[in-house]
Amino acid sequence: MAIIVLGAVFAYVFYYQNNQISSQSNQISSQAGQISTLESEIASLSAGASTIQGQLSQLQGSQSTTNSEVSSIQGSLHSLQSQLSTIQGELQTEVNTNYQTLNSEIQNMNTTLQALATKLSTLFPQVPQSALTIVGSNYDNSSAVYTFTVHNSQAYSIYAQLSASFYGNPCNFYAGEGSYMSQVLSFGPNATLTIPVDFKGVAFSASSFCGKEPVAYFTMDFVASSTTLSQSYTFQVNPPYQF
């Protein structure tokens, strides 16, 4: 009889321990899923923060954006980045205990990021590629200055840089002899702006294919960060400029 009772006790203990192991295994699987979900959301938030950081760099060159607005957005972004670092540390400790709190924090950060993106979109609207158009040009050979008249077709100010590449005739596009990037220029709403490009201020160099050939033509466009805001233009330099 004692043996039967002892066997029943052992059977119960074995059953209980097996259930505990199964329950712990399920908890571990659940935690692993939660970690994966949270890490995915953190990666998405980090990407969103990086995008906003890039937009901030562009905004800082804009004279229409006040320092207080930029400082406010930077403060919010830094706060979000700090919260991301905190969450990543907490993930490595008590995921199961803090899951609800972490999830709530992530949702709040998502809301903040969306608000920042909306504010940035308002401060710096998406500019079409046809926004800036060259409506006039003139080359003064005596001073080696090319002057352009540029029209902004949009109803808001645009901040962009003139980007140009210079070439010599003998080797056509193989004879790249220099490039130029202007400072940030301010184009008023529906207005025109006259822009001079002084060849004496361009760092020309001899082509590896054709040597120090006179500059015969150049291509140019207007850019803001990595966005092109105009078509690509080609202008002849006549007579060619000998640097």
Q: Looking at the domain 132-241, which fold is it? A: Immunoglobulin-like (2.60.40)
Domain ranges of the chain: 2-123, 132-241
pLDDT at 6: 34
Backbone angles phi, psi at 153, to 5 degrees: -85, 0
pLDDT at 199: 93
In the chain, % of residues over pLDDT 90: 28
Are 74 and 56 contacting, i.e. CB atoms less than 8 angstroms apart?
yes
How many CB atoms are located within 10 Å of the residue 203 CB?
9
Residue 150 has pLDDT above 50, yes or no: yes
